[in-house]
């Protein structure tokens, strides 16, 4: 919510604050009706209307330039018309080594840190009781002595002395307690560092066991499209949930299972969103983490048993269905190598991929071969499913519904310097 508010303020700061013009009223109302858009008040609707008008203009200008041969793809208005690119959900993508090691260590450190804090606090509470008892007795003795020495002193003078003395003893108490905390923290710090180093060693060892695809040396087909081979389920819509990683992983598992069993069944991205603790549900994740979850859990549910709702909920711990989909691990495609990406796709089937989808034009992609010079192969933020290729483009399945792109698919430029990072972070599950 904070992100959306900040985004809206940023957009508003760049727009004129005059009322929107009436010339597009009919189109605006038709668009709102088509996508069932509702806003909390008139101010939000006016802001969203301005964003929609800007996006509409950008689409028209781009398509006019495409007609003139300046672009290889066209744009089209869709349900994202009232949004800016920073509002789009993203995945947790990064360098493979850091992605698999650092989060695991960070989580262990957080748990360990909390355990150590709890242990220190329990020790301090016990000592605090002892210190309080001693200091209170000292305080009472001092008060008695003061009164005995000056039994004629006024009551307010006694009270003043008590207050001063109590403050002095409280300062002593704080000093004693803080010294204990520092000593215990120093002692526990040594223990925690040893445990963290052990965990790093174990995590690195686990990382090094991950399989990496090696060239088979086989000749490639001129084109591949696994939609025709019954290895790809229909396009679905992740909605406002940042669960692209779960749809990507589910799609790769679906393809491998169909290839193995001859049955194409939809698996449950919601199961992954709810139960994969390595990822963050609707706040992002990664296909590799989903494969690891299925491997460790022993299975993933089918869509019909665990339907998608588009928000994270409590994990449903239910028995596996008959013939439940399983995973034995996963394989990485060497980073940045489009030829090996094509080989793996040709040999294995649909692959999970991550790309840079942050540019506004990707939001409104409609047709043609997507080649955008601003695309960054090193900044990956969206998980998708690679299902085929032709000579000059990759065929990629999205999870933004059939209204987006070419019935839910995008053609991304092939052999053009690993465009948008299509080969930067690809993998497939072993079933």
Catalytic positions: 244, 382, 398
Q: Which value, to the nearest 10 degrees, does the dihedral of the CA atoms of residues 97, 99, 103, 106 take? A: 40
Q: Residue 397 in contact with residue 422, Cβ under 8 Å?
A: no
Residue 73: enclosing H or E segment and its boundaries? strand 73-75
CB-side neighbour CA atoms (13 Å) of 384: 27
Residue 336: phi, psi to the nearest 5? 80, 0
217: left (phi > 0), else alpha (psi -120 to 50), else beta? left
357: left (phi > 0), else alpha (psi -120 to 50), else beta? alpha
Residue 180: enclosing H or E segment and its boundaries? helix 155-208
8 burial type by CB count under 10 A (0-12 exposed, 13-18 middle, 19+ buried): middle
Q: Residue 364's closest CA among 403, 421, 419, 399?
A: 403
Q: Residue 369 in contact with residue 392, Cβ under 8 Å?
A: yes
Q: Show the CA angle centred on residue 324, arms to residues 318 and 328, nearest 5°.
A: 110
Rounded to whole angstroms, the Cα distance separating 166 from 154 reads 19
Question: 385-406 as b/e, with b when 16 or more CB fall inside 10 Å?
Answer: bbbbbeeebbbbbbbbbebbbb
316: left (phi > 0), else alpha (psi -120 to 50), else beta? beta
Residue 201: phi, psi to the nearest 5? -60, -45
Q: Hey, which bits of 258-319 come out as E strands?
A: none
Rounded to whole angstroms, the Cα distance separating 43 from 87 reads 18
Dmax of the chain from CA atoms?
108
């Amino acid at each position: 919510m904070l992100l959306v508010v900040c985004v809206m303020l940023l957009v508003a700061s760049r727009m004129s604050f005059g009322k929107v013009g009436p010339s597009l009223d009919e189109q605006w109302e038709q668009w709102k009706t088509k996508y069932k858009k509702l806003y909390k008040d008139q101010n939000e609707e006016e802001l969203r209307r301005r964003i929609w008008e800007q996006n509409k203009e950008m689409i028209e200008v781009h398509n006019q330039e495409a007609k003139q041969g300046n672009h290889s793809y066209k744009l089209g208005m869709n349900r994202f018309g009232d949004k800016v690119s920073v509002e789009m959900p993203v995945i947790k993508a990064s360098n493979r080594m850091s992605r698999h090691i650092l989060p695991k260590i960070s989580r262990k450190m957080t748990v360990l840190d909390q355990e150590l804090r709890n242990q220190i606090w329990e020790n301090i509470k016990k000592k605090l009781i002892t210190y309080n008892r001693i200091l209170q007795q000292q305080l009472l003795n001092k008060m008695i002595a003061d009164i005995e020495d000056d039994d004629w002193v006024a009551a307010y003078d006694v009270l003043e002395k008590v207050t001063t003395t109590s403050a002095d003893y409280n300062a002593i108490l704080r000093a004693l307690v803080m010294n204990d905390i520092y000593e215990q923290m120093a002692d526990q710090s040594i223990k925690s560092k040893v445990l963290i180093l052990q965990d790093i060693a174990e995590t690195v060892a686990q990382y090094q066991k991950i399989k990496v695809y090696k060239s088979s040396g086989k000749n490639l087909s001129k084109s591949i499209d696994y939609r025709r081979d019954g290895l790809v389920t229909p396009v679905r819509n992740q909605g406002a949930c940042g669960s692209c990683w779960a749809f990507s992983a589910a799609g790769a598992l679906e393809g491998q299972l169909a290839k193995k069993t001859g049955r194409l069944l939809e698996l449950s991205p919601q199961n992954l969103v709810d139960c994969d603790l390595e990822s963050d549900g609707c706040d992002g994740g990664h296909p590799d983490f989903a494969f690891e979850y299925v491997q460790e859990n022993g299975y993933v549910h089918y869509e019909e048993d665990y339907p998608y709702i588009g928000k994270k909920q409590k994990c449903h711990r239910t028995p596996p269905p008959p013939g439940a989909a399983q995973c034995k691990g996963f394989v990485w495609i060497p980073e940045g190598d489009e030829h090996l990406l094509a080989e793996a796709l040709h040999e294995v089937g649909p692959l999970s991929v991550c790309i840079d989808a942050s540019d506004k034009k990707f939001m409104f992609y409609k047709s043609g071969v997507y080649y955008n010079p601003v695309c960054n192969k090193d900044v990956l933020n969206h998980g998708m499913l690679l299902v085929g290729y032709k000579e000059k483009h990759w065929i990629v399945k999205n999870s933004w519904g059939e209204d987006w792109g070419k019935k839910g698919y995008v053609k991304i430029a092939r052999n053009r310097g690993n465009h948008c990072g299509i080969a930067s972070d690809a993998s497939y599950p072993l079933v």
